[in-house]
Amino acid sequence: MAKSKKVFIDGEAGTTGLQIADRLAGVTGLSVISIDPTLRKDAAARLAMMRDADAVVLCLPDDAAKEAVALADSLGRDAPKIVDASTAHRVAKGWVYGFAELDGKQADAIRKATRVANPGCYPTGAIALLRPLVDAGIVPKDFPISVNAVSGYSGGGKQMIESYEVSKTAPAFELYALGLEHKHVPELMAYTGLTYRPIFVPSVGNFKQGMLVSIPLHLDAQPGKPKLADLEAALVKHYAGSGVRVVPNAASMTRLEPEALNNSDKLELYVFGNDTQHHALLVARLDNLGKGAAGAAVQNLKLMLGLA
């Protein structure tokens, strides 16, 4: 019988860490090793856990994640493989981007990697929609794009969760990052292939989890003046055989809510619009804690450890 692979979640007590631990509990061939809660900030104790682990998942703030990587690197050839769920390494040299469906080669790149950066939840949806259209030449790399997104509050960290669940001081809905300098933008550009900086406007609603990412397009402004069917066909071709579902004939729908995929690792893509008006609306739906965080981390771990 093959030896079980050991995974240490550095930051297991947080929202993403708990979700990852829950998902790993059902994975054959993997076991989670946990640090004594009183030692979770003790560098020597964490280093010992890293030495014992085959892989480490970092569920930490960016600066702490960088420190954790340096700690792991001090083990040299005994260093574990790392999946970083923070934003610290998503465009960093030497790190593989952990969106396995990015293109036909990305899953193999993750399998061979020792350092994988988990995608952000918002970028997962936007990149999933745009990368196939950019690769197909339907959307030019230098085309001005706007990305609008709404997420449940669970992705906003401890303070935001408390404002919704404990103090009840949070509004029903709010836009944020209105200075248009959100840290997800470099990630969006790097993995969509866009060379013209997109406008990204995130928002949060008064629901725990679930996400919609939407991108409007003027079809007659695209070089080939594509139809809705052309957009859908490009997405279908790109994701054939993958776990990403392109929902057919979405143009006949009139409403879409964000919570339908909660507690799953699914990702759905929609092409809404009106050919007569030459307007399209691309939408991705996912659970921000699922495919947008913990689900992607588990998928990456399984690939890196030879379990998928």
Q: List, by residue number, the catalytic residues.
A: 121
Q: CA angle at residue 173 from 169 to 174, to 5 degrees?
A: 90
**Collapsing DSSP states into helix, strand and coil, what is residue 15?**
helix
Q: Is the torsion defined by CA of 63, 22, 33, 7 positive or negative?
A: negative
β partners of residue 302: none
- Number of Cα atoms under 13 Å in the Cβ half of residue 154: 23
Neighbour tally for 44: CB within 10 Å: 8
Backbone angles phi, psi at 230, to 5 degrees: -70, -40
Distance of CA 132 to CAs 140, 165, 169, 192, Å?
A: 11, 38, 41, 8
Distance of CA 93 to CAs 23, 107, 192, 215, 240, Å?
A: 29, 18, 17, 29, 30
User: Are 57 and 301 spatial neighbours (Cβ–Cβ below 8 Å)?
Assistant: yes
User: Are 211 and 288 spatial neighbours (Cβ–Cβ below 8 Å)?
Assistant: yes
Nearest-angstrom CA–CA distance, 273 and 25: 42
